[in-house]
Structure 1
Amino acid sequence: MNKYLKYSLIGILVLGALWAAAFFIKSNSKSAITYETQKPFITNIEKKTVATGKVVPEDEIEIKPQISGIIDKIYLEEGVKVKAGDLIAVIKVVPNEQSLNQARGRVRNAELALNNIKIEYNRNKSLFDKGVISSQDFNSLQLQYDQAQQELSNAQADYQIIRRGSAGGSTTANTNIRATVDGTILEIPVEEGDQVIQSNNFNDGTTIATIADLSKMIFEGKVDEGEVAKLQIGTPLKISLGAVEGKELDAKLRFIAPKGVEETGAVQFKIEGDVEIQEDVFIRAGYSANASMVLEKKDSVMVIPEALLQFDKKTDKPYVEVAVGNVEDQKFERKDIEIGISDGVNVEIVSGITEEDLVKQWNKTEPIKKGEDGDEDGDEGSEDSEE
């Protein structure tokens, strides 16, 4: 009896072990990961790009002196609004000794010549009054006398220009530096006592002040060569300023450079846009800014989140996995798709799936599976496990 009891217990234990093994295999044959699904949906989609740059005045005018000298007095400061004709600074002329001496010599020579011709003129005038000399001879002498007077006047004017910077009533125009346009003084790069050089054919001259109208601002930025072909003059821009939070300015693209410049291995093209200044926002010249612009836009197209996309390891073509049968069965099949534009979040689906398909949503915590060659191959591994 003990013998049969012994064999019975052994048989029960064996059956129990077989049942436990079968249950373990069956429970582990089910996927430990449950995938959620999403349906494609219809929406509007825009492909945008962002150009970095800065906001600057449309025109900046540099005020330069008409004569060399030393800054004697500066009357205005940077940031002050000015009208055309407002006095900015005064220049004190420091004449060149050699030029001054030559001009003084010209004046003396002109005086001597005038005195000499004056004596001759007075002597012949009395003879002409008595009818001794002809009218033609006296007129010729009169011309020489007038020319000598004019030569003295010219020499004296040149001497005054070299000595004081200007002659007669033109003093204000040469030594007083005045604003030439209405606007705001952006910069005064000189100080009292600095030596300045006049603008001429061989030298740009020293800049006394820079003036600009801050109510007319433009955006200057650069875009990559891959995006510049999609831009058009008049494209709306949204300008966001780094120094002004929570504010966006409207602008319109007005210029696209015909030639690019290579920077760090990429070709960049300069763009400009007219900025619409808001009354409640004060824009300073040189603010860093970003311009957002729409490169392509489509209305009422079918899209899915970009996170649902997968790409074939060999062909690099996009595909998704769509639920087959009941979602609870967690069975999916691969469908190759054709995609269109993307806004960075959603991507347009041109063909391959319909609005009724349930697209597999990849879990972020899903373990990376390896193929037979030992390399990471999440795509092929997931397909094998589902099969």
Structure 2
Amino acid sequence: MKKILKWVGLAVLVLGAMWAAVFFIKSNSKSAITYETHKPFISSIEKKTVATGKVIPEDEVAIKPQITGIIDKIFVEEGAPIKAGDLIAVIKVVPNEQSLNQAQGRVRNAELALNNAKIEYDRNKTLYDKGVVSNQDFINQKLTYEQAEQELKNARADYQIIRRGSIGGSSAANTDIRATVSGTILEIPVKEGDQVIQSNNFNDGTTIASIADLSKMIFEGKVDEGEVGKLKLGMPLKISLGAIEDQEFDADLKFIAPKGVEESGAVQFKIEGDVEVGGDFMIRAGYSANASLVLEKKDSILVIQEALLQFDKETDKPYVEVATGEQEFERRDIEIGISDGVNVEIVSGLEKTDEIKQWNKTEPIKKGLEDDENADEDA
């Protein structure tokens, strides 16, 4: 009887061990992760790019003096509206000593020449009245006398311009700096007492003020060479400004640079677009801006979430895993089209009824392991 009980107990132990082994094997054969699946769906995709840049006036005019001197008085401030012809500043002329001396010498020479021409004219007139000198000789002498008079007038006028900045002491011609266009004063880079240089063939001259019409603004930015080939003149732009939140301005692409510039190892092309300024917004010159351009758009196409894609390590071709049963999946190669970074177009390889594995889901942390990690952090 004891032997029977002994063998029965041994059999129970063996059966228990076998059952435990089978349970362990079956438990380990099941996946620790339950994968979610998603179906393709119909949607629209816009492929966009963003160009960074700034908003500047379409036309900006630099006001420069026509005479060298010192700023005597400034009558406007930056940001003030101005009309064409309004007085901006007055220049006090500081004549060059050498030029002034030369002008004085020219006046003296013209006076001497005029005195000599007058003597000859008076003598020839007396002889002409007596019939000794021919009519042609008298006319020539009279012309010489009149030319000497005109030369003296010119010399005196040049002397006045060098000395005072204008003929007869009137400062309206050169020393008064006036606006040539209407708009807003953007900048006055000089102050009273600064010396300024006139604009000539060899020098741009000193800028006294810059004026622009802030109602006519353009976006100026740059795009990468990989995207410039997809741009076309007239494309719509959406302009967002860093200084004005939650507001977009419409613009039309009007210029694409024919030549790129290399910056940080990448070739960039300048673009410009006319910005439609409206409403009560004050857009200032130089605001940083971003322009959103739609490079490609497709409506009512089959798409999936881009996060569901996988790529072959050797061929770099895309594929997904499609459900064939309960937590059972098979690989399926697909062909994709455009993407907006969230969804991607499916050209071929999938149907709307396919269940696609969300492959990158991670296993949840077990409660016991989580408690041990928390205990380690507390320690």
Calculate the TM-score normalised by the size of structure 1.
0.90
Which residue number in structure 2 is paired with residue 356 of structure 1? 353
- Name whichever of 185-194 and 300-309 sits farther off: 185-194
Which residue number in structure 2 is paired with residue 291 of structure 1? 291
Counterpart of 1:343 (choices 340, 343, 349) is 340
Which residue number in structure 1 is paired with residue 315 of structure 2? 315
8 Å contact kept, 2:64–2:207: yes
Which amino acid in the other structure matches residue 203 of structure 1?
N
The separation in 1 between residues aligned to 2:105 and 2:169, in whole angstroms, is 24
Matched, 1:4 2:4: yes
The separation in 2 between residues aligned to 1:116 and 1:363, in whole angstroms, is 107
Which residue number in structure 2 is paired with residue 255 of structure 1? 255
The separation in 2 between residues aligned to 1:134 and 1:253, in whole angstroms, is 77
Secondary structure of 1:295's aligned partner: strand
Which amino acid in the other structure matches residue 158 of structure 1?
D
Secondary structure of 2:112's aligned partner: helix
8 Å contact kept, 2:237–2:291: yes
Which amino acid in the other structure matches residue 332 of structure 1?
F
> Identity, % of aligned pairs?
79
The separation in 1 between residues aligned to 2:265 and 2:219, in whole angstroms, is 24
Secondary structure of 2:174's aligned partner: helix
The separation in 2 between residues aligned to 1:248 and 1:266, in whole angstroms, is 28
The separation in 1 between residues aligned to 2:98 and 2:260, in whole angstroms, is 52
Which residue number in structure 2 is paired with residue 79 of structure 1? 79
CA drift at 1:19: 1.2
The separation in 2 between residues aligned to 1:109 and 1:215, in whole angstroms, is 56
Secondary structure of 1:324's aligned partner: strand
Deviation string for 1:231-252 (max 9, x for gaps)?
A: 1101111111111110101011
CA drift at 1:117: 2.9
Secondary structure of 2:272's aligned partner: strand
CA drift at 1:263: 0.9
Which residue number in structure 1 is paired with residue 17 of structure 2? 17
The separation in 2 between residues aligned to 1:113 and 1:28, in whole angstroms, is 122
Which residue number in structure 1 is paired with residue 92 of structure 2? 92
Which residue number in structure 2 is paired with residue 27 of structure 1? 27
Secondary structure of 1:339's aligned partner: strand
- Name whichever of 136-145 and 50-59 sits farther off: 136-145
CA drift at 1:147: 1.4
The separation in 1 between residues aligned to 2:31 and 2:127, in whole angstroms, is 136
Which amino acid in the other structure matches residue 75 of structure 1?
F
Alignment of 1:300-311 (within 5 A): 300-311=300-311
The unaligned stretches of length 5 or more in structure 1 are: 368-387
The unaligned stretches of length 5 or more in structure 2 are: 365-379
Deviation string for 1:288-319 (max 9, x for gaps)?
A: 11100011111110000000000111111100
8 Å contact kept, 2:160–2:169: no
Q: 1:333 to 1:144 in 2, by over 3 A?
A: same
Deviation string for 1:21-40 (max 9, x for gaps)?
A: 21222222111211111110
Calculate the TM-score normalised by the size of structure 2.
0.92
Which residue number in structure 2 is paired with residue 135 of structure 1? 135
Which residue number in structure 2 is paired with residue 105 of structure 1? 105
Q: 1:306 to 1:366 in 2, by over 3 A?
A: farther
Deviation string for 1:94-149 (max 9, x for gaps)?
A: 11111111111111222222233334434544554455544334333322221121
- Name whichever of 234-243 and 134-143 sits farther off: 134-143
CA drift at 1:283: 0.6
CA drift at 1:168: 3.6
8 Å contact kept, 2:237–2:250: yes
The separation in 1 between residues aligned to 2:23 and 2:359, in whole angstroms, is 29
Which residue number in structure 2 is paired with residue 376 of structure 1? none
- Name whichever of 11-20 and 61-70 sits farther off: 11-20
Which amino acid in the other structure matches residue 331 of structure 2?
R
Matched, 1:151 2:146: no
The separation in 1 between residues aligned to 2:134 and 2:27, in whole angstroms, is 142
Which amino acid in the other structure matches residue 274 of structure 1?
D
Which amino acid in the other structure matches residue 36 of structure 2?
E
The separation in 2 between residues aligned to 1:255 and 1:17, in whole angstroms, is 81
Which residue number in structure 1 is paired with residue 164 of structure 2? 164
The separation in 2 between residues aligned to 1:365 and 1:296, in whole angstroms, is 35
Which amino acid in the other structure matches residue 8 of structure 1?
V
Which residue number in structure 1 is paired with residue 187 of structure 2? 187
The separation in 2 between residues aligned to 1:73 and 1:189, in whole angstroms, is 14
Which residue number in structure 2 is paired with residue 116 of structure 1? 116
Deviation string for 1:19-63 (max 9, x for gaps)?
A: 122122222211121111111001111110001111111111111
Which residue number in structure 2 is paired with residue 234 of structure 1? 234
The separation in 2 between residues aligned to 1:241 and 1:294, in whole angstroms, is 18
Which residue number in structure 2 is paired with residue 203 of structure 1? 203
- Name whichever of 33-42 and 122-131 sits farther off: 122-131
The separation in 1 between residues aligned to 2:127 and 2:294, in whole angstroms, is 94
The separation in 1 between residues aligned to 2:310 and 2:138, in whole angstroms, is 109
The separation in 2 between residues aligned to 1:10 and 1:58, in whole angstroms, is 98
Which amino acid in the other structure matches residue 167 of structure 1?
I
Matched, 1:332 2:329: yes
- For the aligned residue pairs, the C-alpha RMSD in angstroms reads 1.7
The separation in 2 between residues aligned to 1:170 and 1:269, in whole angstroms, is 51
